[in-house]
Every structure is written in C-alpha cells, then in structure tokens.
Amino acid sequence: MPRAYLGLGGNIGDVKANIQEALRMLQANNAVKLIKQSSYYETAPVGFEQQAWFLNIVIEIETELPPYELLELCSKVEHQLKRERLIRWGPRTIDIDILLYEGFESNDPKLIVPHPRMHERAFVIIPLYEIAPNLFIKDQGIREHAISLNNQEIRKLTND
Ligand code: X6L
Ligand code: MG
Ligand code: MG
C-alpha cells in the first residue's frame, strides 16, 4: 500500500481537539491507516504573521486512496471542522496538506506534490524529521533541512 505524509495544523478554537477529531475522521475511512504521528508543536505563524501561533503535527499513513481521493477526503474533513477561508494564509480551525505521496508527483495547482514549500517551513520539517528521519527532500537529507531552519520559532508541546 502506498505511504503518504500529511501535515495538519490550526490556530482557532481548541486546536488540539480539532486535530484529534481530524485524525479520527481520516481513520474512519477504511482505506486510510495511521502508521505514525509526530508530537504536537507550537509554531510561530508564517506567511501572515498577525495571527495566533499554530499547533502543527505530521502523520504517516498507508492508504489505498489514490492521490485525488485522498485530497478529497482531506478537504471533506476540513469542511466538517468548519474551515473558512477569509484571509489568505490566515487563521483556520484545521488545515490538512498532502506533503508527500509515495510514487506520485504532480504540478497540478489543485494538488502540488511534493508540497513545494515544505522544505522552507520548520512547522513541517521538524515534525516530519521526528517520524521520518531518513527522508530526502530535494536531494538533501531532512536532517540538514531541519538544521537550516533553526531560526524559525517552534516548540515541542510537552505534557507538563
Ligand atoms: C514569503 C511569502 C515567505 C509567503 C513565506 C509561508 C506563505 C507559508 C504561506 C510565505 C508563506 C505559508 C501555517 C502557517 C500557514 C501552519 C504555521 C503557509 C500557508 N499555515 N504557520 N502559515 N503553521 N506556523 O500550519 O504555510 S499559511
Ligand atoms: Mg498548509
Ligand atoms: Mg492547505
């Protein structure tokens, strides 16, 4: 079964509860199996900075869904969790992005995979490095990407 990596994040409402609900809804599809889940990370907003910090995680899944059906599922979950698009790059209850999908590359503006900016964003690379430390992105080890993003504010959430 193909593996895929998804990035989840949000900064409106009880974000941890929203992410947990999104995980539950993704797994409610029998063609999706959760393999790994990163820690939760509090991350400074990127792109549009006048908004609250985000909570972000990355997951690894195994899925029988072809890429566009997986995209459809992610959009459906975003919709069910009341995702609204008011400000470009602005606050949201939940965002679910397909970062990587094994054996698949696409430049379709509706589904660009691998995610074209993921290597520039600590909120993607740091959690991804936690669960997939041997990945290569743009011909560079993910560890090297993680090191070069050490200027971006990100804090692993602890339970204490
Ligand atoms: C120049 C211009 C530099 C635009 C960067 C970066 C735009 C990221 C959009 C950019 C630029 C984005 C999250 C976020 C967003 C998130 C955190 C985006 C889309 N999503 N910040 N900003 N976590 N921490 O999930 O990623 S908006
Ligand atoms: Mg995103
Ligand atoms: Mg998105």
Over residues 100-123, the pLDDT tens digits come to 999 999 999 999 999 989 999 999
Could you give the CA distance from residue 117 to residue 119 in angstroms, rounded to a whole number?
6
Q: Which two tokens stand for residue 91?
A: 């606050």
CA of 30 to the centre of ligand 1 (A): 31
Print the domain residue range for 80: 3-156
Question: Which of 54, 56, 89, when mutated, tests ligand 1's pocket best, judged by the most ligand atoms within 8 Å of its CB?
Answer: 89
Task: Give the pLDDT score at 160.
Answer: 73
Split at pLDDT 50, 70, 90, the class of 75 is: very high
Domain containing residue 120: CATH number: 3.30.70.560
Amino acid residing at 160: D
Task: Give the pLDDT score at 85.
Answer: 86
Residue 160 C-alpha from the chain's centroid: 24
Quick one: which ligand is closest to 53's CA?
1
Query: How much is the average pLDDT of 10-31?
Result: 98
Rg (Cα) of the chain, in Å, rounded? 15
Which pTM was predicted? 0.96
Q: Which two tokens stand for residue 154?
A: 């990100």
Domain count, the chain: 1
